[in-house]
Amino acid sequence: MKSLTCGIFSGVSAFSVLFLSFFFFLTSVSLAEEAVKQDSKQAETLYDAAIKEEKAENYSQAVELWRQAAELGHAEAQRKLGIAYLDGLGIEVDGDEAIKWLQKAADAGNLRALGNLGCMFMDGEIVEKDAEKGLKMLREAAEKGDMTAQGNLGAYYFEGEYIEINEIEAVKWTRKAAEQGNEVAEFNLSVAYIEGLGVEKDYVEAAKWLRKAAEQGNEVAEFNLSVAYIEGLGVEKDYVEAAKWLRKAAEKGLADAQQNLGVTYLYGHGVEKDETEAVKWFQKAAEQGQVNAQYYLGYVYFHDLGVKKDEMEAAKWFQKAAEQGQVNAQYYLGYVYFNDLGVEKDDAEALKWYQKAADQGHIASILAVGEAYLKGLGGVEKDETEAVKWFRKAAELGHLDSMTTVGEAYFYGHGVEKDETEAVKWFRKAAEQGNASAQCNLGMTYFNGLGGVEKDETEGIKWFRKAAEQEHAEAQYVLGVIYREGAGVEKDEAEAVKWFQKAAENGYVAEPKTLVPCWEDLDTEKKDEQAVKWIQNLAELEITEAEYILGVFYTVGSEGVEKNGEEAVKWLQKAAKKGYCPAQNALGNMYYWGIGVEKDYAEAAKWHQKAVEQKDPNSQYILGLLYLSGSGVPKDTTLALEWIQKAANQGNIQAKEFLEFRAQEKRPEEMENEE
């Protein structure tokens, strides 16, 4: 009994101890859980504070807060701390620490950290490269749903740098990430649809994913979405919408967007034209080294657009862009060197840059190189063959004027062996595309049966007319002759007059007589009257030759106009001031003889001097007389005789007679002295 009692007592006592132990165990667990909760809460608070510091770019403070949270077991803080060590944000780069904290985060189930480690092993950053291990880790994170890992895995399959390219697999993983809202994956998926990588090309689908990425603030997506709106790719063209997205990307500092936004303001595409605003954005992009912005900045300085014209500043930016291969900048740099604009004139340097741009197919530069060989500029010798070679390059690129130039080279045998058939081929190419000069030339070949084409006046006239209707002055003149002569058409004086007038209005320079159309066909009694009326019309249109002829009519008088010296001088003066040599000679004579003006030998000498600069023999003779007598110029017998001799050498009868008479009048001793 006693023993039983003891046994029972003992049993109760043991139960009590067990109960108490269990109670204490539960209490310990509860306290531990509470401590964990407190640590977790504190870690989350520290992490949130770190994120705020990160956003404020206070990286060293953020790192310290992440460290505290990481030591309390916060997995994302551990990942963030590892990335900070990896990138050197707020702390020195330390690969070992980066791996330690990323591994802790991954072990704690942070899939993004696992994916980060996978990328490190694949790229060989900090750790020894192990693509197989890295891919395994990245795939594990991706398969468990981490969108960053999915996006990175898709990118690796697209690029094929560490694994074999597989566009189908790339699109699969990229889409998974994009559907979870990963902005980089959204952008990459849009690229896949644009380029047809692993999917059918689909600009509408591309624009959809671009917009998703852009709406998350991805500046590259914003820029590309603006391009889609500009070009109408997957969306309707909308310059206003394009400008909106461009500005978003530009304000984030994307240089390409800043450059495009500058162009938008320069030309007023989707925004009100604002050259000053354009310059602002060009400057921002140019200072980041954006090559097209550097060119445009040179362009606005050169053309005084939104900024004060500064040729030196323009040349500086052209140089920067040209050295990076920007073709328009290379052309402009050649231009400024050739024309002494902002840099010291240097034809050889100009040709160098023209050549660089020409090698990229820049047509204006190709033409400049051709001109250099044609005229012997930039340190190269004149070489028609080389010139034609360059003009042919431009022609083959579709430049219509160059096609005509090449055709003319073959037609006349300039720089190439004469080949009228080849000439006609080039004339036809340009003519069929609307080039007026080529149309005129093609008309000439048909009208005269040249270049292997059968003579066909009707076909020739067809092409002359096409050119004439484009205001080609020579074609208009030829049509006038055709109608005057009745060549291939019925003779039609009125039609001839119409085309002669158009040719004159377009500055066609013909012999003065041809400015009076159908001269030979006019009735004798009406010839002068009709001629004067015609010339008056042309003179009023400021046709130089007509001004001169009208001046002559007023000088001598005719049936159609009374002699009027003052009116004669007025019209002669108009033509003379334009550099027309016959008018300068005639005006000099008016002052010499005092017709329509007071006699003024100095003024006479001035106008005859201008004419002799164009080797006019009549003015050479009169100028000689003025020097001989010292009228209006200092007396200078030697110079006088030189001018009279020059006039005689060109066939001036009065000068020849003067010299013959003077030779007869000379004393023998004068002749000996001259010898």
CA distance 655 to 632: 20
| SS3 state at 194 | helix
Tally the C-alpha atoms within 13 A of residue 158's C-alpha that lie toward its C-beta.
Answer: 23
| Amino acid identity, position 611 | A
C-beta of residue 185 within 8 angstroms of C-beta of residue 177: yes
C-beta of residue 189 within 8 angstroms of C-beta of residue 209: yes
Helix (H) or strand (E) holding 462: helix 457-468
Q: Enumerate long-range contacts of 549-553, CB under 8 Å, 24 or more apart.
A: 549/512, 549/515, 549/516, 551/575, 551/583, 551/586, 552/586
Report which of 215, 207, 209 is spatially closest to residue 235, judged by C-alpha positions: 207
Return the axis-axis angle of helices 327-339 and 311-323, rounded to nearest 10°: 140
Could you tell me the pTM of the whole model? 0.65
Return the axis-axis angle of helices 544-556 and 565-577, rounded to nearest 10°: 160
Report which of 214, 228, 281 is spatially closest to residue 251, judged by C-alpha positions: 281
CA distance 565 to 557: 10
CA distance 236 to 255: 25
| Amino acid identity, position 631 | S
Tally the C-alpha atoms within 13 A of residue 404's C-alpha that lie toward its C-beta.
Answer: 16
Report which of 667, 603, 606, 674 is spatially closest to residue 645, judged by C-alpha positions: 674
* pLDDT score of 658: 86
Q: Which residues of 362-384 are buried (b: 16+ CB within 10 A; e: fewer)?
A: bbbbbbbbbbbbbeebbebeeee
DSSP assignment letter at 39? H
Find the angle CA(250)-CA(252)-CA(254) to the nearest 5 degrees.
Answer: 55
Report which of 505, 499, 529 is spatially closest to residue 517, judged by C-alpha positions: 499
Phi, psi for 419 (deg, rounded to 5): -155, 95
* pLDDT score of 168: 95
- Give CA 213 to chain center in angstroms: 31
Residues of the chain with pLDDT under 50: 1-12, 15, 511-513, 516-527, 666-675
Find the angle CA(209)-CA(210)-CA(214) to the nearest 5 degrees.
Answer: 120
Query: In angstroms, how far apart are the furthest CA atoms of the chain?
Result: 187
* pLDDT score of 524: 40
- Give CA 610 to chain center in angstroms: 42
Structure tokens at 577: 């001031």
CA-derived radius of gyration, the chain: 45
C-beta of residue 644 within 8 angstroms of C-beta of residue 612: no
Contacts of 3 (CB under 8 A, 6+ apart): none
Query: Is the Cα dihedral 428, 429, 431, 436 positive or negative?
Result: negative
SS3 content of the chain, % helix, strand, coil (to 5): 75, 0, 25
